[in-house]
Amino acid sequence: MNGLWDWDAAWAVLPELLLAFVQVTLIVTVLSTAIAAVLGLFIAILRMSVPKPIAAVITFIGDFIRMTPIVVQLLFAYWTFLTIEPLTIGIVVFGIHYSTYMAEVYRAGIDSVPTGQWEATTALSMSKRRAWTAVIVPQALRATVPALGNYAISMFKDTPFLLTIGVVEMVRAGLTFGGNNFRYMEAITLAGVIFLLASYPTSLLISRLEKRLAYNY
């Protein structure tokens, strides 16, 4: 039972971890990022198009979601919608939680589009709707791509929170294996290594992307 590292245990747990990685961790990351990207943009634009008091309410709800733990939100949704599968709940809660971050990113992106661009759409008598979709949003999005990437990585590393609602993601799979075999070392370490191997190169890619997209004015 002793010894620092047991290769047999490592080989035994690795397939389980990888399976959980593909079936849960990756799927949640991809789908939740998609939800956060779309919902966040919707919130950002909504907030700019409604009267001020309503915008303030939307902002408050966003702050509330952003400043409270995703773990409690997961548990809340899990016990409220008992008939829905935990994995689905996880995807939606992660998506909503991070959409509040993305809304802030979009807002900053929209603010960073120079006033001259707005003035040009007026000078060309473009409709408000056309101005948003053809001029402002495309420019705002360009600056937000790296931020979306960084939040995707952040979400990826947050996926172990799903174990609180019984979703068997990587860490849960590792803990189960560890409990059954009285060895946590290999399972937990490997889970960490997989996180590192997946997130580090991605974050390097994003920071390169960030440099390429920056300062285009």
Partner 1 sequence: MESNFEALAEAWPRILDGLWITLQLTLGGALLAMVIAVVLGLGSRLHNIVLRGLCRAIMEFFRGTSLVVQLFFFFFVLPQLGLALPAMVCGILGLGLNYGAYAAEVVRGSINSVPTGQWEATTALSMSKSQQMIRVIFPQAWALMIPSLTNYLIHMLKGTAIVSFITLADLTYHTEQLREQTDTFFAYGVSLVIYFVIAYILTLIMNALEVRAKHRLGRGESLREALTPKTPETAAAEGGRKA
Which positions lie near partner 1, rule CB under 8 A?
Answer: 4, 64, 66-73, 75-76, 79-80, 157-158, 160-161, 163-164, 171, 174-175, 178, 183-185, 188-189, 191-193, 195-196, 199-200, 203
Closest approach, Cβ 126 to partner 1, in A, equals 32
Nearest-angstrom CA–CA distance, 166 and 162:
7
Task: Give the H or E element holding residue 209.
Answer: helix 185-213
Quickly tell me which residue has 């390169």 as its tokens.
Answer: 208
Of 117 and 189, nearer to partner 1 (C-beta) is: 189
Minimal CA–CA distance to 162: which of 152, 154, 172, 153? 172
Give the burial class of 10: count Cβ atoms within 10 A of its Cβ; 0-12 exposed, 13-18 middle, 19 or more buried: middle
Task: Give the H or E element holding residue 38.
Answer: helix 27-49
Of 40 and 160, nearer to partner 1 (C-beta) is: 160
Closest approach, Cβ 6 to partner 1, in A, equals 10
Of 132 and 195, nearer to partner 1 (C-beta) is: 195
Closest approach, Cβ 134 to partner 1, in A, equals 33
Provide the token pair at 122.
Answer: 């007026």
Question: What stretches of 50-184 show up as alpha helix (H) in DSSP?
Answer: 52-66, 70-80, 86-112, 115-123, 128-130, 137-158, 170-181
Of 67 and 123, nearer to partner 1 (C-beta) is: 67
Closest approach, Cβ 136 to partner 1, in A, equals 26
Closest approach, Cβ 172 to partner 1, in A, equals 10
Of 106 and 195, nearer to partner 1 (C-beta) is: 195
